[in-house]
Amino acid sequence: MARFDPYENNGGTCVAVAGADYCVVAADTRLSVGYSILSRDHSKIAQLADKCVLASSGFQGDIKALQKNLAAKELVYEHNHNKEMSCPAMAQLLSNTLYYKRFFPYYVFNVLGGLDSQGKGCVFTYDAVGSYERTGYSAQGTGAALMMPVLDNQLKSPSPLLLPARDAVTPLSESEAVDLVKDVFASATERDIYTGDRLEFVVINSSGTHREYIELRKD
């Protein structure tokens, strides 16, 4: 008997790495349902503010609804305060937005990256109902379980339980972080059928943001 299911996982993987004065946010461009590829050129990255970028994996309908919701709230904030929302403020707004829908959640797994008010890189990682944490790096999506062990091995973020608190930013330079992100995606693409086609990454630093693409496996 057929039943209504409001959710579908359209696959894909998102990664973010924060450094002392930069943040790299990356995602593949494959959009899938089961064993079918619906699009090979679909962006999972949305720029919410000047120094704040959101990468999302999960159900595409909910991703679009969430991005529109956040963009509208950011615009209201901009008109009320005559400035753009900072990345930590956007992180709290995203958490509140997801938690508000906790009884019928957005089926979306988010990584938010950017620069904080001191100009340091920051990465916030989320579950579907708004629980979040500031870290030095994170991965979400279908390839996250393949990527996180490599990122843990290479970046070794200090435990948030250590006192006094340690800085979570990664020790790599901007170019080294970009190379590491390319490597983990090339590796995950070999093993995860929902990740592939093209890698889109955004680098945020004091001079602004720039977006680049590299090709991944297409099978």
Q: What interhelical angle do 87-100 and 60-81 show, nearest 10?
A: 130
DSSP three-state, residue 176: helix
Does pTM surpass 0.85?
A: yes
Residue 160: what pLDDT? 64
Distance CA 57, CA 47 (A): 15
In this prediction, the residues of the chain whose per-residue pLDDT falls under 50 are none
Amino acid making up residue 36: S
What pLDDT score was predicted for residue 3? 79
Q: Which of 77, 25, 15, 23 is nearest to 46 (CA)?
A: 25
Tell me the two tokens of residue 106. Answer: 């957005």
The tens digit of pLDDT for each residue in 119-168 reads 899 999 999 999 999 999 999 999 999 999 999 888 876 666 777 766 66
Beta bridge partners of 123: 113, 135
| Beta strands in 19-128, from DSSP E residues, in sequence order | 22-28, 31-33, 36-39, 45-49, 52-58, 108-115, 121-126
DSSP state of 146: H
Q: From the CA atom positions of the chain, what is the Rg in Å?
A: 17
CA–CA separation, 48 and 30 (whole Å): 22
Tell me, what's the pLDDT at 6? 83
